[in-house]
Amino acid sequence: MMRIDIISVLPDLLHSPFQHSILKRAHDKGLLEVHVHDLRAYGLGKYKQIDDYQFGGGAGMVMMIEPIVNCIDDLRAARTYDDIIYMTPDGERLAQPLANRLSLQQNLLILCGHYKGIDERLREHVITREISIGDYVLSGGELAAAVLVDAIGRLLPGVLNDETSALFDSFQDGLLAPPVYTRPAEYQGWKVPDILLSGNTAKIEDWRYNMALQRTRERRPDLLDEE
């Protein structure tokens, strides 16, 4: 059983992604637990403050140390986390090998940023891994956290009906996935490649590899280590 805890300023944003499709299946099978924690429960003072102005001036508020540390300390009192992850545009780019590694962990804690981000001292002393889902900025880290959880959760053994299917996804072997087809074999004159109807498994696998290589060369040549 993997457990993922998520700390968020807007926990309602994360309810739907984990209640449908593959992640719901993972939960129903007892393979993945996702718990979302409202940071405002740890806010300071009467108004449950969680952010403050930047030292030195500048536009935008910064998430404060105390509420975040108090929340993390509460969670760590119950379990040990393999990683405390901060979702941030300047983190390590999420790629399939990273998702694979994280799927082997038992307990992960994800912190969703907001405003201008979190006090840098948290990144220096508390956060163990920083992850980005791309070179762009979102309104907060919740959607990025949902992407990360989905990428990890679908890899857990027993989650997918066909456990081998995740092994042939794009990027698992460093290539994009080849084209796929289903019935009917012909539609409005558009035909499925004859090789896929041949029943010759070895030739079909060769075709798929060659098509994956071709597609990768055309669309993502950066993934290839070719001279």
DSSP string, 28-49: HTTSEEEEEEEGGGG-BTTTTB
Q: Kindly state the average pLDDT of the residues 212-227.
A: 88
| pLDDT for position 96 | 94
Q: What are 48-87's pLDDT values in tens digits?
A: 999 999 999 999 999 999 999 999 999 999 999 999 999 9
What lies within 8 Å, CB to CB, of 13 at 6+ separation is 140, 142, 143
Which one has a higher pLDDT value, 126 or 15? 126
Q: Which of 55-64, 76-85, 142-151, 167-176 has the lowest mean pLDDT?
A: 167-176
> Would you kindly state where each structural domain of the chain is located, as residue ranges?
2-153, 170-223
Q: Kindly state the average pLDDT of the residues 134-155.
A: 96
Token pair listed for 221: 């040549």
Torsion, Cα 184 190 195 201, to 10 degrees, reads -30
| pLDDT for position 168 | 57
Superfamily holding 170-223 = tRNA(m1g37)methyltransferase, domain 2 (1.10.1270.20)
| pLDDT for position 166 | 60
Instruction: Check whether 167 has a pLDDT greater than 70.
Output: no
Q: What are 187-218's pLDDT values in tens digits?
A: 999 999 999 999 999 999 999 999 999 999 99
Q: Nearest-CA neighbor of 39 among 113, 95, 94?
A: 113
| pLDDT for position 67 | 98
pLDDT band at 225; cut points 50, 70, 90: confident
What CATH number should be reported for the domain whose range is 2-153? Answer: 3.40.1280.10
| pLDDT for position 155 | 93
pLDDT band at 227; cut points 50, 70, 90: very low
| pLDDT for position 163 | 52
What are residue 186's phi and psi, to 5 degrees?
A: -140, 135
Which one has a higher pLDDT value, 5 or 171? 5
